[in-house]
Structure 1
Amino acid sequence: MRAVTPLEPPPTPWRLEAPPDDSSGDLWAVGADLEPGTLLAAYRLGLFPMPLRDGLGWFSPTRRAVVPVDPFTPSRSLQRAARRYEIRVDTSFAAVVARCARPGEPTSWIDGAIMSAYGRLHELGWAHSVEAWDEDGLAGGLYGVSIGGLFAAESMYHERTDASKAAFVGLVRRLREAGDADRRLLDVQWQTPHLERLGAVEISRAEYRRRLVVALPLPSPLA
Protein backbone atom coordinates (compact mmCIF):
# COMPACT_ATOMS: atom_id res chain seq x y z
CA MET A 1 0.00 0.00 0.00
CA ARG A 2 1.39 3.40 -0.98
CA ALA A 3 1.98 5.85 1.85
CA VAL A 4 -0.47 8.77 1.91
CA THR A 5 2.21 11.16 3.13
CA PRO A 6 5.66 10.56 1.60
CA LEU A 7 8.06 8.88 4.00
CA GLU A 8 11.68 10.01 3.97
CA PRO A 9 13.95 6.97 3.59
CA PRO A 10 17.40 6.60 5.17
CA PRO A 11 19.88 9.01 3.55
CA THR A 12 22.12 7.82 0.78
CA PRO A 13 25.65 6.76 1.80
CA TRP A 14 26.98 8.11 -1.49
CA ARG A 15 28.41 11.58 -2.00
CA LEU A 16 26.29 13.03 -4.77
CA GLU A 17 27.12 16.32 -6.45
CA ALA A 18 25.47 18.27 -9.22
CA PRO A 19 27.58 19.05 -12.29
CA PRO A 20 28.76 22.61 -12.95
CA ASP A 21 26.42 24.56 -15.17
CA ASP A 22 29.04 24.67 -17.92
CA SER A 23 29.95 20.98 -17.79
CA SER A 24 29.73 19.45 -21.27
CA GLY A 25 27.82 16.28 -21.94
CA ASP A 26 24.65 14.87 -20.41
CA LEU A 27 26.19 11.94 -18.53
CA TRP A 28 27.66 13.20 -15.27
CA ALA A 29 28.50 10.18 -13.11
CA VAL A 30 28.51 6.37 -13.04
CA GLY A 31 27.90 4.11 -10.07
CA ALA A 32 26.05 4.37 -6.73
CA ASP A 33 22.75 2.49 -6.32
CA LEU A 34 19.00 2.75 -6.77
CA GLU A 35 18.02 2.87 -3.11
CA PRO A 36 15.20 5.32 -2.31
CA GLY A 37 17.50 7.72 -0.44
CA THR A 38 19.91 7.81 -3.37
CA LEU A 39 17.17 8.42 -5.92
CA LEU A 40 15.59 11.25 -3.94
CA ALA A 41 18.96 12.91 -3.32
CA ALA A 42 19.72 12.70 -7.04
CA TYR A 43 16.42 14.21 -8.17
CA ARG A 44 16.86 17.04 -5.66
CA LEU A 45 20.17 17.81 -7.41
CA GLY A 46 18.69 17.64 -10.90
CA LEU A 47 20.06 14.16 -11.68
CA PHE A 48 18.23 11.07 -12.91
CA PRO A 49 19.42 7.48 -13.48
CA MET A 50 19.52 5.25 -16.54
CA PRO A 51 21.19 1.85 -16.86
CA LEU A 52 24.34 1.70 -18.95
CA ARG A 53 25.97 -1.36 -20.47
CA ASP A 54 28.58 -1.39 -17.71
CA GLY A 55 26.83 0.21 -14.75
CA LEU A 56 24.37 2.86 -13.67
CA GLY A 57 24.56 6.32 -15.22
CA TRP A 58 23.41 9.60 -13.69
CA PHE A 59 22.36 12.25 -16.18
CA SER A 60 21.99 16.02 -16.10
CA PRO A 61 21.27 17.16 -19.67
CA THR A 62 22.92 20.35 -20.85
CA ARG A 63 19.58 21.15 -22.51
CA ARG A 64 16.67 20.00 -20.36
CA ALA A 65 13.14 19.49 -21.66
CA VAL A 66 10.37 20.82 -19.43
CA VAL A 67 6.68 21.48 -19.92
CA PRO A 68 5.51 24.86 -18.60
CA VAL A 69 2.59 24.22 -16.28
CA ASP A 70 1.53 27.85 -16.53
CA PRO A 71 0.68 28.65 -19.21
CA PHE A 72 -0.45 25.33 -20.61
CA THR A 73 -3.19 25.33 -23.23
CA PRO A 74 -3.88 21.87 -24.61
CA SER A 75 -4.55 21.70 -28.32
CA ARG A 76 -7.97 20.63 -29.57
CA SER A 77 -6.64 17.15 -30.24
CA LEU A 78 -5.34 16.91 -26.67
CA GLN A 79 -8.67 18.11 -25.31
CA ARG A 80 -10.51 15.50 -27.37
CA ALA A 81 -8.14 12.82 -26.12
CA ALA A 82 -8.68 13.85 -22.50
CA ARG A 83 -12.46 13.56 -22.87
CA ARG A 84 -12.23 9.98 -24.13
CA TYR A 85 -10.74 8.54 -20.95
CA GLU A 86 -11.19 8.49 -17.20
CA ILE A 87 -8.02 9.69 -15.48
CA ARG A 88 -6.93 7.96 -12.28
CA VAL A 89 -3.86 8.31 -10.07
CA ASP A 90 -1.96 5.43 -8.47
CA THR A 91 -4.51 2.69 -9.02
CA SER A 92 -2.17 0.52 -11.17
CA PHE A 93 1.36 1.82 -10.64
CA ALA A 94 3.15 -1.49 -11.20
CA ALA A 95 1.18 -2.19 -14.38
CA VAL A 96 2.00 1.24 -15.82
CA VAL A 97 5.73 0.83 -15.14
CA ALA A 98 5.75 -2.70 -16.56
CA ARG A 99 4.05 -1.59 -19.76
CA CYS A 100 6.30 1.45 -20.11
CA ALA A 101 9.20 -1.03 -20.10
CA ARG A 102 8.02 -2.43 -23.46
CA PRO A 103 9.29 -5.98 -22.83
CA GLY A 104 11.22 -7.44 -25.73
CA GLU A 105 12.18 -4.12 -27.30
CA PRO A 106 15.97 -3.73 -27.43
CA THR A 107 15.83 0.05 -26.90
CA SER A 108 13.96 -0.16 -23.60
CA TRP A 109 15.99 1.13 -20.63
CA ILE A 110 13.47 0.11 -17.95
CA ASP A 111 14.87 -3.14 -16.59
CA GLY A 112 14.00 -5.19 -13.53
CA ALA A 113 16.21 -3.10 -11.25
CA ILE A 114 14.51 0.13 -12.38
CA MET A 115 11.03 -1.34 -11.92
CA SER A 116 11.90 -2.54 -8.43
CA ALA A 117 13.51 0.77 -7.44
CA TYR A 118 10.58 2.92 -8.50
CA GLY A 119 8.19 0.44 -6.92
CA ARG A 120 9.92 1.10 -3.60
CA LEU A 121 9.64 4.85 -4.16
CA HIS A 122 5.94 4.37 -4.88
CA GLU A 123 5.43 2.47 -1.62
CA LEU A 124 7.05 5.37 0.23
CA GLY A 125 4.79 7.89 -1.51
CA TRP A 126 7.28 9.53 -3.90
CA ALA A 127 6.56 7.85 -7.23
CA HIS A 128 3.17 8.02 -8.91
CA SER A 129 1.28 6.86 -11.95
CA VAL A 130 -1.31 8.83 -13.88
CA GLU A 131 -3.56 6.47 -15.82
CA ALA A 132 -6.10 6.66 -18.65
CA TRP A 133 -8.93 4.16 -18.36
CA ASP A 134 -11.84 3.26 -20.63
CA GLU A 135 -14.51 0.57 -20.69
CA ASP A 136 -11.89 -2.02 -21.64
CA GLY A 137 -9.55 -1.20 -18.75
CA LEU A 138 -6.15 0.45 -18.51
CA ALA A 139 -5.46 2.10 -21.88
CA GLY A 140 -2.26 4.02 -21.18
CA GLY A 141 -0.47 6.19 -18.68
CA LEU A 142 2.75 7.61 -17.34
CA TYR A 143 4.78 7.46 -14.17
CA GLY A 144 7.29 9.69 -12.46
CA VAL A 145 8.68 11.08 -9.22
CA SER A 146 6.97 13.88 -7.29
CA ILE A 147 9.06 15.89 -4.82
CA GLY A 148 7.42 19.10 -3.70
CA GLY A 149 6.62 21.11 -6.81
CA LEU A 150 8.78 18.92 -9.05
CA PHE A 151 7.23 16.16 -11.11
CA ALA A 152 9.93 14.25 -12.97
CA ALA A 153 8.14 12.26 -15.66
CA GLU A 154 10.01 9.05 -16.44
CA SER A 155 8.06 7.28 -19.17
CA MET A 156 4.65 6.94 -20.79
CA TYR A 157 2.88 4.38 -22.94
CA HIS A 158 -0.42 3.77 -24.67
CA GLU A 159 -2.34 0.73 -25.81
CA ARG A 160 -5.20 2.68 -27.33
CA THR A 161 -5.23 5.87 -29.35
CA ASP A 162 -4.20 9.01 -27.45
CA ALA A 163 -4.38 7.35 -24.03
CA SER A 164 -0.93 8.57 -22.99
CA LYS A 165 -1.83 12.07 -24.15
CA ALA A 166 -4.96 11.97 -22.01
CA ALA A 167 -2.91 10.90 -18.99
CA PHE A 168 -0.45 13.72 -19.64
CA VAL A 169 -3.21 16.32 -19.81
CA GLY A 170 -4.60 14.89 -16.59
CA LEU A 171 -1.21 15.29 -14.91
CA VAL A 172 -0.85 18.91 -15.99
CA ARG A 173 -4.35 19.71 -14.75
CA ARG A 174 -3.52 18.15 -11.39
CA LEU A 175 -0.38 20.28 -11.14
CA ARG A 176 -2.25 23.44 -12.11
CA GLU A 177 -5.07 22.84 -9.65
CA ALA A 178 -2.57 22.54 -6.81
CA GLY A 179 -1.74 26.24 -7.13
CA ASP A 180 1.55 28.06 -7.73
CA ALA A 181 1.47 26.76 -11.29
CA ASP A 182 4.14 29.23 -12.41
CA ARG A 183 6.56 27.81 -9.80
CA ARG A 184 5.99 24.12 -10.49
CA LEU A 185 8.43 22.14 -12.61
CA LEU A 186 7.33 19.37 -14.98
CA ASP A 187 10.53 17.70 -16.12
CA VAL A 188 10.51 15.44 -19.20
CA GLN A 189 14.32 15.12 -19.48
CA TRP A 190 15.11 15.24 -23.22
CA GLN A 191 13.20 16.93 -26.00
CA THR A 192 11.54 14.77 -28.66
CA PRO A 193 9.09 15.69 -31.44
CA HIS A 194 6.32 13.96 -29.48
CA LEU A 195 7.06 15.93 -26.31
CA GLU A 196 7.35 19.14 -28.28
CA ARG A 197 3.81 18.59 -29.54
CA LEU A 198 2.76 18.22 -25.90
CA GLY A 199 4.23 21.63 -25.11
CA ALA A 200 7.78 20.80 -24.01
CA VAL A 201 10.51 23.41 -24.38
CA GLU A 202 14.26 23.25 -23.79
CA ILE A 203 16.06 25.23 -21.11
CA SER A 204 19.68 25.30 -19.99
CA ARG A 205 21.02 23.26 -17.09
CA ALA A 206 21.50 26.48 -15.12
CA GLU A 207 17.90 27.55 -15.72
CA TYR A 208 16.63 24.10 -14.78
CA ARG A 209 18.51 24.24 -11.49
CA ARG A 210 17.13 27.70 -10.78
CA ARG A 211 13.58 26.47 -11.33
CA LEU A 212 14.24 23.33 -9.30
CA VAL A 213 15.25 25.38 -6.25
CA VAL A 214 11.98 27.32 -6.53
CA ALA A 215 9.82 24.22 -7.03
CA LEU A 216 11.10 21.83 -4.37
CA PRO A 217 9.66 23.66 -1.29
CA LEU A 218 6.12 23.59 -2.71
CA PRO A 219 3.60 20.97 -1.53
CA SER A 220 3.20 17.96 -3.80
CA PRO A 221 -0.24 17.67 -5.44
CA LEU A 222 0.08 13.88 -5.52
CA ALA A 223 0.99 13.21 -1.88
Structure 2
Amino acid sequence: MTEPPIIAWDFDGVLNRNIRDGVFLWAESFEQDLGQSLDVFTKHVFADDFDRIITGQEDLRDRVASWVERVGFVPGPDALLEYWFKKDALPDVEVLKVQAALSAKGIRHVIATNNEARRARYIEVEMGFGDRAVHVFSSGRMGVRKPDPAFYAQITETLDVAPDRMLLIDDYQASVDAARAAGWQAHFFSDKSRDDVLDRLSAEFL
Protein backbone atom coordinates (compact mmCIF):
# COMPACT_ATOMS: atom_id res chain seq x y z
CA MET A 1 0.00 0.00 0.00
CA THR A 2 1.32 3.44 -0.95
CA GLU A 3 2.14 5.64 2.03
CA PRO A 4 0.02 8.78 2.28
CA PRO A 5 1.76 12.09 1.66
CA ILE A 6 2.92 14.53 4.27
CA ILE A 7 0.89 17.66 3.59
CA ALA A 8 2.85 20.92 3.75
CA TRP A 9 0.47 23.81 4.27
CA ASP A 10 1.33 27.37 3.44
CA PHE A 11 0.07 29.61 6.22
CA ASP A 12 -1.07 33.06 5.08
CA GLY A 13 -3.80 32.75 2.49
CA VAL A 14 -4.30 29.03 3.14
CA LEU A 15 -4.54 27.99 6.81
CA ASN A 16 -4.95 31.64 7.76
CA ARG A 17 -7.61 33.50 5.79
CA ASN A 18 -6.09 36.93 6.25
CA ILE A 19 -5.83 38.15 2.67
CA ARG A 20 -8.59 39.62 0.53
CA ASP A 21 -7.89 40.68 -3.07
CA GLY A 22 -4.18 40.61 -2.34
CA VAL A 23 -4.50 42.89 0.72
CA PHE A 24 -3.72 41.78 4.28
CA LEU A 25 -6.75 42.37 6.48
CA TRP A 26 -4.69 43.40 9.54
CA ALA A 27 -4.04 46.73 7.82
CA GLU A 28 -7.71 47.72 7.44
CA SER A 29 -8.12 49.35 10.88
CA PHE A 30 -4.46 50.17 11.57
CA GLU A 31 -4.89 53.94 11.40
CA GLN A 32 -8.14 53.93 13.37
CA ASP A 33 -6.75 51.63 16.08
CA LEU A 34 -3.30 53.15 16.48
CA GLY A 35 -3.58 56.73 15.22
CA GLN A 36 -0.59 56.17 12.94
CA SER A 37 -0.14 56.38 9.17
CA LEU A 38 -0.36 52.97 7.54
CA ASP A 39 1.59 54.27 4.55
CA VAL A 40 4.49 55.45 6.74
CA PHE A 41 4.50 52.15 8.63
CA THR A 42 4.42 49.90 5.58
CA LYS A 43 7.04 51.88 3.70
CA HIS A 44 9.34 51.87 6.71
CA VAL A 45 8.93 48.19 7.55
CA PHE A 46 8.50 46.58 4.14
CA ALA A 47 10.22 48.82 1.59
CA ASP A 48 13.88 48.25 2.47
CA ASP A 49 14.75 44.66 1.47
CA PHE A 50 12.13 42.88 3.58
CA ASP A 51 13.61 39.58 2.39
CA ARG A 52 16.38 40.16 4.95
CA ILE A 53 13.74 39.83 7.64
CA ILE A 54 11.88 36.97 5.98
CA THR A 55 15.09 34.94 5.78
CA GLY A 56 16.28 35.71 9.30
CA GLN A 57 19.14 38.07 8.46
CA GLU A 58 17.46 40.95 10.33
CA ASP A 59 15.15 40.92 13.34
CA LEU A 60 11.66 42.22 12.61
CA ARG A 61 11.56 43.82 16.07
CA ASP A 62 14.60 45.96 15.21
CA ARG A 63 12.88 47.24 12.05
CA VAL A 64 9.69 47.98 13.98
CA ALA A 65 11.68 49.64 16.78
CA SER A 66 13.21 52.05 14.30
CA TRP A 67 9.70 52.98 13.11
CA VAL A 68 8.62 53.42 16.75
CA GLU A 69 11.48 55.85 17.33
CA ARG A 70 10.77 57.70 14.10
CA VAL A 71 7.06 58.34 14.75
CA GLY A 72 7.09 58.40 18.56
CA PHE A 73 4.79 55.42 19.06
CA VAL A 74 4.63 55.39 22.87
CA PRO A 75 3.47 51.78 23.47
CA GLY A 76 6.69 50.54 21.86
CA PRO A 77 7.75 47.79 19.41
CA ASP A 78 6.53 44.80 21.42
CA ALA A 79 3.03 46.28 21.70
CA LEU A 80 3.00 46.90 17.95
CA LEU A 81 4.06 43.34 17.16
CA GLU A 82 1.44 41.94 19.53
CA TYR A 83 -1.25 44.09 17.90
CA TRP A 84 -0.11 43.12 14.39
CA PHE A 85 0.09 39.39 15.06
CA LYS A 86 -3.30 39.29 16.79
CA LYS A 87 -5.00 41.23 14.00
CA ASP A 88 -3.40 38.89 11.48
CA ALA A 89 -4.62 35.72 13.23
CA LEU A 90 -7.65 34.68 11.17
CA PRO A 91 -7.54 30.87 10.85
CA ASP A 92 -9.77 29.39 8.17
CA VAL A 93 -12.25 27.21 10.07
CA GLU A 94 -13.23 25.09 7.07
CA VAL A 95 -9.63 24.36 6.14
CA LEU A 96 -8.84 23.43 9.74
CA LYS A 97 -11.79 21.01 9.80
CA VAL A 98 -10.41 19.20 6.77
CA GLN A 99 -6.92 19.22 8.24
CA ALA A 100 -8.21 17.73 11.50
CA ALA A 101 -10.15 15.03 9.66
CA LEU A 102 -7.02 14.13 7.68
CA SER A 103 -5.02 13.96 10.92
CA ALA A 104 -7.59 11.52 12.31
CA LYS A 105 -6.85 9.30 9.31
CA GLY A 106 -3.14 9.35 10.07
CA ILE A 107 -2.08 12.04 7.62
CA ARG A 108 0.89 14.04 8.90
CA HIS A 109 1.04 17.80 8.45
CA VAL A 110 3.74 20.44 8.43
CA ILE A 111 3.56 24.17 7.88
CA ALA A 112 5.82 25.60 5.17
CA THR A 113 5.68 29.38 5.34
CA ASN A 114 7.59 32.48 4.37
CA ASN A 115 7.46 34.06 7.81
CA GLU A 116 10.17 35.44 10.05
CA ALA A 117 10.96 33.74 13.34
CA ARG A 118 8.89 35.91 15.71
CA ARG A 119 5.63 35.40 13.83
CA ALA A 120 6.48 31.73 13.25
CA ARG A 121 6.63 31.31 17.02
CA TYR A 122 3.31 33.15 17.41
CA ILE A 123 1.74 30.83 14.83
CA GLU A 124 3.21 27.81 16.58
CA VAL A 125 2.48 28.73 20.20
CA GLU A 126 -0.16 31.44 20.59
CA MET A 127 -2.24 30.26 17.63
CA GLY A 128 -1.71 26.61 18.54
CA PHE A 129 -0.49 25.34 15.19
CA GLY A 130 2.41 23.58 16.87
CA ASP A 131 -0.20 21.05 18.03
CA ARG A 132 -1.63 20.65 14.54
CA ALA A 133 1.63 20.09 12.67
CA VAL A 134 4.64 17.92 13.31
CA HIS A 135 6.89 20.82 12.35
CA VAL A 136 6.57 24.51 11.52
CA PHE A 137 9.06 25.29 8.77
CA SER A 138 9.53 29.03 8.41
CA SER A 139 11.90 30.92 6.15
CA GLY A 140 13.13 33.03 9.05
CA ARG A 141 14.37 29.94 10.85
CA MET A 142 15.59 28.16 7.74
CA GLY A 143 17.51 31.06 6.19
CA VAL A 144 15.84 30.53 2.82
CA ARG A 145 12.39 31.24 1.43
CA LYS A 146 10.03 29.80 -1.14
CA PRO A 147 10.34 29.42 -4.08
CA ASP A 148 14.08 28.77 -3.64
CA PRO A 149 14.75 25.05 -4.28
CA ALA A 150 16.80 24.91 -1.07
CA PHE A 151 13.62 25.57 0.94
CA TYR A 152 12.03 22.33 -0.27
CA ALA A 153 15.26 20.36 0.02
CA GLN A 154 15.72 21.42 3.65
CA ILE A 155 12.23 20.19 4.51
CA THR A 156 12.66 16.74 2.95
CA GLU A 157 16.09 16.39 4.55
CA THR A 158 14.72 17.32 7.97
CA LEU A 159 11.78 14.93 7.65
CA ASP A 160 13.98 12.27 6.00
CA VAL A 161 11.46 11.57 3.26
CA ALA A 162 11.54 11.36 -0.52
CA PRO A 163 10.31 14.50 -2.32
CA ASP A 164 7.35 12.66 -3.84
CA ARG A 165 5.99 12.02 -0.33
CA MET A 166 5.39 15.77 0.08
CA LEU A 167 2.20 17.57 -0.96
CA LEU A 168 2.28 21.36 -0.86
CA ILE A 169 -0.89 23.46 -0.58
CA ASP A 170 0.05 27.05 -1.44
CA ASP A 171 -1.57 30.22 -2.76
CA TYR A 172 1.52 31.45 -4.62
CA GLN A 173 1.90 29.89 -8.05
CA ALA A 174 5.69 30.26 -8.14
CA SER A 175 5.93 28.27 -4.90
CA VAL A 176 3.71 25.56 -6.33
CA ASP A 177 5.77 25.40 -9.52
CA ALA A 178 9.02 25.22 -7.57
CA ALA A 179 7.67 22.44 -5.38
CA ARG A 180 6.73 20.40 -8.44
CA ALA A 181 10.17 21.04 -9.93
CA ALA A 182 11.63 19.67 -6.69
CA GLY A 183 9.64 16.46 -7.12
CA TRP A 184 6.82 17.33 -4.74
CA GLN A 185 3.12 17.04 -5.37
CA ALA A 186 1.42 20.43 -5.12
CA HIS A 187 -1.99 22.08 -5.35
CA PHE A 188 -2.55 25.76 -6.04
CA PHE A 189 -4.92 27.28 -3.47
CA SER A 190 -6.96 30.42 -4.14
CA ASP A 191 -10.44 31.76 -3.49
CA LYS A 192 -11.49 30.13 -6.76
CA SER A 193 -9.75 26.79 -6.21
CA ARG A 194 -10.24 26.60 -2.42
CA ASP A 195 -13.31 24.36 -2.40
CA ASP A 196 -11.95 22.14 -5.17
CA VAL A 197 -8.69 21.59 -3.29
CA LEU A 198 -10.49 20.74 -0.04
CA ASP A 199 -12.91 18.42 -1.86
CA ARG A 200 -9.98 16.72 -3.60
CA LEU A 201 -8.15 16.15 -0.32
CA SER A 202 -11.31 14.80 1.28
CA ALA A 203 -12.12 12.49 -1.62
CA GLU A 204 -8.61 11.10 -1.82
CA PHE A 205 -7.77 10.60 1.85
CA LEU A 206 -10.99 10.55 3.91
TM-score, with length taken from structure 1: 0.25
Structure (1 or 2) with the greater helix fraction: 2
Greater Rg by CA: 2
Structure (1 or 2) with the greater strand fraction: 1
